[in-house]
Amino acid sequence: MAIFDWVSRRIFDTVHRNNLVYNTCWEDPRLDREALQLQPTDNVLVITSAGCNALDYALCAPNHVHAVDMNPRQNALLDLKKAAIKGLEFDDFFRMFGDGRLPGARKIYQARLRSHLPEWSRGYWDGKIKWFDNPRSTFYFRGTSGFFARLMKVYTDKVIKVRPWLEKMLNTDSLEEQQAIYRNHVRDKFWSGLMKFALNRDTTMSMLGVPRAQRRQIESTYSGDLVKYIQECLEGVFVKLPMNENYFWRVYMNGAYSRTCCPEYLVEQNFQRLKAGLVDKVSTHTNSVQGFLEAHTGTISRFVLLDHMDWLSDHFFPLLESEWQAIVNRAAPNTRLLWRSGGFNTDFIHQVKVQVNGRTRSAEELLHYHKDLATRLHQLDRVHTYGSFYIADLKLD
């Protein structure tokens, strides 16, 4: 088992250290906005991912949003979005990040975007801006998660041939019709032996940003059956929630958003608000959460930790404790934290010990959960791939 875990970690590290993994965020900010209740005085820390949600939070006009990620390519993507907000008009901006294609992208990049980028991001996009000007593939089929989405499109279009039914599911206004299409025309074809085999591979999970530690969190609640978990998640997407407003799954099925089904930063009036100054409330930091907090001189009142604590829950537990110590040290009064997990609970957090005013305290003592709110919001999650969602206030007195 130790050798198997070592190989799995090496695969995951190779994928994440050398690639853009996420080309779009995979957490529903509609839930986060209600949970965070952002105020003009709030300073937010969010793990960058693809930067969509950092821009979403900026639209709530907090004091500042710090987007932190250890993968500089993820920060480079957010830097490019910020540069495009400053340098482009809306139609070109939507072509670039809505359609995933911007004809003449290299010339536009050189003339209007490159000068707005920090040095590392400039070097990265000097070589990758061609991703936005390829007639055969949109930007949303790039990166490792995008490559998996492209494989899935080949599978649905060429292998099981359900593309017409998927289009009907994405565009119907009737949840009942959507359910009937899935059950009668998609479900049995989609869940083939080939699909189940692919989803059970560590390489596939690494492409999707799921490390071995998080896989263990999932399997602990599903008797080791990862595929069953994924199948139930997708059943929730296709059967319980209207697809016509689900931009998360639309972009991976089609490689593009639509004008009426897209993240908030791609809505024209929101783009104009960002361009008028709100985009300057967002900054990127290539660092770990702990590293950023230890270097930061101010306080943070809102933490959006995504699902990354799953990643640290076993072999890297000392790092998780160090991160929580940094959170405690930089937390403002009335701090609120959000996180997600692949499993049904994150009991490992309650094992964390930190120093508060010279005393050793457990995280369980310090966290006051909003369980009813989290449960209600979790049912509305359009992504629907997480086992649990948490909203907690940090009380240090």
pLDDT in tens, 21-55: 999 999 999 999 999 999 999 999 999 999 999 99
In the block, tokens 């929730």 appear at 236
Who wins on pLDDT, 226 or 361? 361
CA distance 181 to 184: 5
The pLDDT, as a whole number, for residue 201 is: 75
Confidence of residue 7 (pLDDT cuts 50, 70, 90): very low
Q: 356: left (phi > 0), else alpha (psi -120 to 50), else beta?
A: beta
Contact assessment for residue 236 and residue 28, using Cβ atoms and an 8 Å cutoff? no
pLDDT for residue 370 is more than 90: yes
CA distance 261 to 246: 7
Query: Mind listing the pLDDT tens digit for each residue in 131-155?
Result: 999 988 999 999 999 998 999 999 9
192-219: b (≥16 Cβ within 10 Å) or e: eeebeebbeebeebbbbbbbbbbbbbbb
**Contacts by 350-353, CB closer than 8 A, 24 or more apart:** 351/317, 352/320, 352/321, 352/324, 353/321
Share of the chain above pLDDT 90, in %: 74
Closest to 79 in 3D by CA, of 133, 31, 19, 120? 120
pLDDT, averaged across the chain: 90
The mean per-residue pLDDT over the stretch 342-366 comes to 88
Contact assessment for residue 39 and residue 13, using Cβ atoms and an 8 Å cutoff? no
Q: Where are the alpha helices (DSSP H) in 37-171?
A: 52-58, 72-87, 90-97, 105-108, 119-128, 143-154, 163-171
CA distance 274 to 54: 12
77: tokens are 């993507």
C-alpha angle 323-325-327 in degrees, rounded to nearest 5: 70
Query: Mind listing the pLDDT tens digit for each residue in 52-62?
Result: 999 999 999 99
- 353: β partners: 362
The pLDDT, as a whole number, for residue 348 is: 84
pLDDT for residue 118 is more than 50: yes
CA distance 101 to 133: 5
DSSP state of 348: G
pTM of the model: 0.90
Confidence of residue 343 (pLDDT cuts 50, 70, 90): confident
Pairing label, strands 359-362, 300-304: unpaired
pLDDT for residue 211 is more than 80: no
The mean per-residue pLDDT over the stretch 289-301 comes to 97
